[in-house]
Amino acid sequence: MTTRSELAILSLRAYSAALKNGEFHTTEIARDIGCDEAAAHQIKIYLSKLRLLAEGHPDEGLRPVDPEVAEVELRLPLEQRIHVGQQELSRIHHVLDQFTGPYREHTRAQRTQETIRVLTDPADVQQEVGLMMRRCTKEMVTMQPGGGRSAETIRAVLPPTLDLLHRGVQMRTLYQHTARASLTTRNYVRQVAEEGAQIRTTGEPFERLIIFDAETVFVPAARSGRQVPGAALVTDPTVVNFMYRTFESMWQSAQDFEAHRHDYQQAAEELRGRILRLMAAGLKDDVIARRLGMATRTCRRYITGITEEIGAVSRFQAGVKAARLGLLPDEEELASLTPGS
């Protein structure tokens, strides 16, 4: 039995031989290309399916056909089926498009009546966010605390984000300074920034949220353990405007995240200063880590490095020395950082 690759090679030689002979006779082809008649018969079937052999005069054998003619003959039924399929797609779109207006009108009315909609199922949140990204026409702003994003998250959000940017929608994202140390996050920032996205980081703590067209806000629920939280979808204009102004305020004081640069000395110094201020305020390591969007273990490494750098043997002594060195804020700012103030 001739393999497929062997059949392809032999068929090319048999077609060339048929062109020279003017006809395809199984016995002659077998002799010309050095194969048995069974293989020559397989070749005849193969070339016939490709429309490269056609019936000639009743007294003659099969004659070789121009490949361009064969291609037209093979393509014609496929193109007809594609044309029918395109017509069907157009019909489906036309029929369903008539129902879009009533649905959108109903959705707008529902959102006007229910200015806060709670989504408890994470799958519903993901679906709704994806829908809003497809419908977004002007701007999407996001606040992403907690340091760098995982590779899995990046893989999921990159395609719809690029699609959003390709449609001309503006995008601004705010991270915490700790995100600058994440290679996956920096790679993501580089890709979206090349398409027009603006990314900045800040040392201030904030909560996660997404705002679409300054009209709709997604506010995630508090996380319980490792369980993915739901979210509240807010459309009340007063609340949305407040959250948008909050974003704008933090955005103005944040620093550009230029992913191609590796010199983040200013951000590192700001992070170091905030850790010192929070230490002086008497906050525990896990609380400091949570406010700065980093892992507790990472935060402790920073604290250890800071205490060693200024020659302190305890957190209290670190606070005293930092004050002497002028690294701490004034009493009014310190009071604003203290819990319960």
pLDDT at residue 269 above 70? no
Rounded CA separation 54/73 (Å): 12
Nearest-10 crossing angle of helices 265-280, 296-309: 90
Residues 6+ apart with CB under 8 A from 131: none
Q: How many CB atoms lie within 10 A of CB 8?
A: 12
Rounded CA separation 224/239 (Å): 25
Higher per-residue pLDDT: 297 or 252: 252
The answer to whether 130 and 161 have CB atoms below 8 angstroms apart is no
Residue matched to tokens 């959000």: 157
Phi and psi at residue 147, in whole multiples of 5°? Answer: 80, -155
Tokens of 251: 């955005």
Q: How confident is the model at residue 279 (pLDDT cuts 50, 70, 90)?
A: confident
Higher per-residue pLDDT: 132 or 289: 132
DSSP for residue 176: E
CA distances (Å), origin 168, targets 64, 171, 196, 314: 54, 9, 9, 53
Q: Which of 271, 282, 339, 292 is nearest to 315 (CA)?
A: 282
Q: Beta strand pairing status for 198-202 and 216-220?
A: unpaired
Residues 6+ apart with CB under 8 A from 184: 148, 149, 150, 151, 154
Q: What is the pLDDT of residue 267?
A: 59
pLDDT at residue 11 above 80? yes
The answer to whether 185 and 148 have CB atoms below 8 angstroms apart is yes
Q: In what order do the strands lie in the sheet with 198-202?
A: 116-119, 231-234, 216-220, 209-212, 139-144, 170-176, 198-202, 255-256
Rounded CA separation 116/65 (Å): 70
Type of residue found at 187: N
Tokens of 157: 């959000």
pTM summary value: 0.52
Higher per-residue pLDDT: 262 or 192: 192
Express as a percent the part of the chain with pLDDT over 90. Answer: 38
pLDDT at residue 212 above 90? yes
Q: Which of 40, 39, 12, 13 is nearest to 25 (CA)?
A: 40
Tokens of 168: 């001309």
The answer to whether 221 and 232 have CB atoms below 8 angstroms apart is yes
Q: What is the pLDDT of residue 51?
A: 93
The mean of the pLDDT values for the chain is 82
Report how far Cα 101 is from the mean position of its chain's Cα atoms.
Answer: 29
Type of residue found at 337: L
pLDDT at residue 325 above 50? yes
Q: What is the pLDDT of residue 331?
A: 45
Q: Could you tell me which residues are beta bridge partners of residue 139?
A: 170
Tokens of 131: 């829908």
Rounded CA separation 135/152 (Å): 24
Residue matched to tokens 């507790």: 296
